[in-house]
Structure formats: C-alpha cells, structure tokens
Amino acid sequence: QKGGMESVSTRSSPKHDCGHFQMPLHYPRYTQADYEAMPEWRLDLLLKEYGLPIIGDLESKRKFAMGAFLWIK
C-alpha cells in the first residue's frame, strides 16, 4: 500500500507484549485476614503468577497484594 493507513491484517511486524502482567485463569479469592497471615513465600508466588513486582519487605508485599486484589466493600 502507498500512503494511508496500513491494514492490521497485512501488517508484518512481530507481536509485542503489553508488559509483564499476566492474567491467570482465576482471580485470587483471599480475604484481608488471609493476606495478613500469608507467608512471604506464598505472597511471592502469587505476585509472580500475575507478573507483578516482588520487591520490598513482607509488610510492603502484603499491602501491595491487598491493594491489587481486594475489592473495597
């Protein structure tokens, strides 16, 4: 094609990732109490499963997980 917009179906560029976030099949169903008692290794696995950062101490990981996965009621 000359000029204009390129058709999506004819584009030959490779697929690009939209970042590191990965949506697993099931959304985690933990309560706030579950996160507050969850061991660090389990938090690390949960965050890794979703492609989220695993940084900071245990308390910051818990706060991050609760902010990411708990719905405000």
Residue 30 CB partners (closer than 8 Å, separation 6+): 38, 69, 70
Q: Calculate the average pLDDT of the chain.
A: 79
Q: Which of 70, 73, 72, 60 is nearest to 28 (CA)?
A: 70
Can you point out the beta strands (E) in 1-73? none
Residue 12 maps to a domain: no
pLDDT of residue 13: 47
Residue 11 maps to a domain: no
State how many domains the chain has: 1
Q: 47: domain range?
A: 19-69
Q: What are 65's two structure tokens? A: 């997980």
Residue 3 maps to a domain: no
Residue 36 maps to a domain: yes
The band of 35, judged by pLDDT with boundaries at 50, 70 and 90, is very high
Residue 28 maps to a domain: yes
- Rounded CA separation 22/31 (Å): 21
pLDDT of residue 72: 76
CA 39 to chain centre: 19
